[in-house]
Amino acid sequence: MNTESYSLEALTNLKYQRLNACAELQRRTDRKLVFARSEALELLAIEKPVEPEAERRRKDMDVVVASAGEKTHIEGVRFLRWSGPITTILINRTAECTTPVCTWAHYGAILPLEELVVLGDAMMRRNQHLARAEMGDFIAYLEHARQFSGIRNCKMAVRLMREGTDSSQETRTRLALQRYGLPEPMVNYPVRLDNGRTALLDMAIPELRIAIEYDGAYHRSSSEQVLRDDKRREALERLGWIYIKVTLLDLGDEHSEGELAQRVATACESVLGIPVPLTARMTMREVCDARRTKRKPLWERVPRQRWIARWVHL
């Protein structure tokens, strides 16, 4: 399945297609419908996670209700009972749907933990035209909710979600590295180049000057863009940064992600001068373990005078 990120234009087009479909459905009933899950994501112009196959194949639209007694039969509608807080928003004065955070919580029971993190990140994009929520919104919703199906997954996902990302593939890259015990890369890390400009790295381990960039379709859109990327990489390498490019082929299966993690571990070794063994591939629940996240990072375990990277001693 292609998991390349959607552009703002593509998400906007999907929004208006869904808006028309929801408006048509609403005209067939006097009952006020509140659209949820996949329909809500499209109405909100939020990039979707990888949904379960059964969800992707269904044709009925999801509508949320607070109790089983509110369910009725409307052709083309699947009613979802929701025991958590139902917060809604009106889109273009036409269709009502669940708010971004309520929609995210709705996915807690049906998404793998990794994709729940991906969805949360997608709602907190660096691009303000795509940003739909802040971390505090998720925390406040969970504090207000007493209980709902999937709440445990949601509470764990919040620990790994990060504001200011640019694409879902970047999130998947970050999580893939953490599965093998590597330190969590910082997202959108700024580096001042020797020409005075600032490069914003997709991900970085700045203490070790390791840059990790996801190379999506946009980066291959033109020869000019490829040239700009090459020049940027050269400028980073002149400052001692190790540049690791990630593509779609590096993600999606354990073998590819393990090889990617080994490339990053080897880069760490070339700075620290010691072996950096990977752990056995962890589950996302293990990655969330607070005891693991509180461990002292790699660069604090090795005295700086033992590091072997040239830039360390300049």
Q: What is the pLDDT of residues 231-282, one digit of tens each?
A: 999 999 999 999 999 999 999 899 999 999 999 999 999 999 999 999 999 9
Range of lowest pLDDT (36-50, 66-80, 209-223, 298-312): 209-223
* Length of the chain in terms of residues written: 314
Confidence of residue 17 (pLDDT cuts 50, 70, 90): very high
Confidence of residue 1 (pLDDT cuts 50, 70, 90): very low
User: How high is the mean pLDDT of the chain?
Assistant: 94
Range of lowest pLDDT (58-67, 168-177, 274-283, 289-298): 289-298
Q: Is the pLDDT of residue 221 over 60?
A: no
Residue ranges covered by each domain of the chain: 8-160, 168-313
Three-state SS at 301: helix
Show the tokens assigned to 49. 């996670």
Inter-residue contact 80 to 102 (CB < 8 Å): no
Distances (CA, A) of 132 to 101, 192, 204, 210, 263: 9, 29, 25, 30, 34
**Confidence at residue 259, expressed as pLDDT on a 0 to 100 scale:** 98
Distances (CA, A) of 201 to 48, 185, 188, 233: 23, 10, 5, 10
Confidence of residue 53 (pLDDT cuts 50, 70, 90): very high
Instruction: Average the pLDDT over 95-107 and give the result.
Output: 98
Share of the chain above pLDDT 90, in %: 88
Q: Is the pLDDT of residue 57 over 50?
A: yes
Q: Which CATH class is domain 168-313?
A: alpha beta
Q: Is the pLDDT of residue 291 over 80?
A: no
Higher pLDDT, 220 or 266: 266
C-alpha to C-alpha distance for 53 and 44, rounded to whole angstroms: 22
C-alpha to C-alpha distance for 191 and 206, rounded to whole angstroms: 9
Higher pLDDT, 118 or 296: 118
Give CB contacts under 8 A, 24+ apart, made by 262-270. Answer: 264/177, 264/182, 264/205, 264/210, 264/212, 265/180, 265/182, 267/208, 267/210, 267/242, 268/182, 268/205, 268/208, 268/210, 268/298, 270/242, 270/308, 270/309
C-alpha to C-alpha distance for 96 and 83, rounded to whole angstroms: 19
**Confidence at residue 217, expressed as pLDDT on a 0 to 100 scale:** 62
C-alpha to C-alpha distance for 259 and 264, rounded to whole angstroms: 9
Crossing angle (nearest 10°) for helices 113-122 and 151-160: 60
Q: Is the pLDDT of residue 219 over 60?
A: no
Inter-residue contact 33 to 63 (CB < 8 Å): yes
Edge-first strand order for the sheet with 198-205 is: 186-192, 198-205, 210-214, 242-246
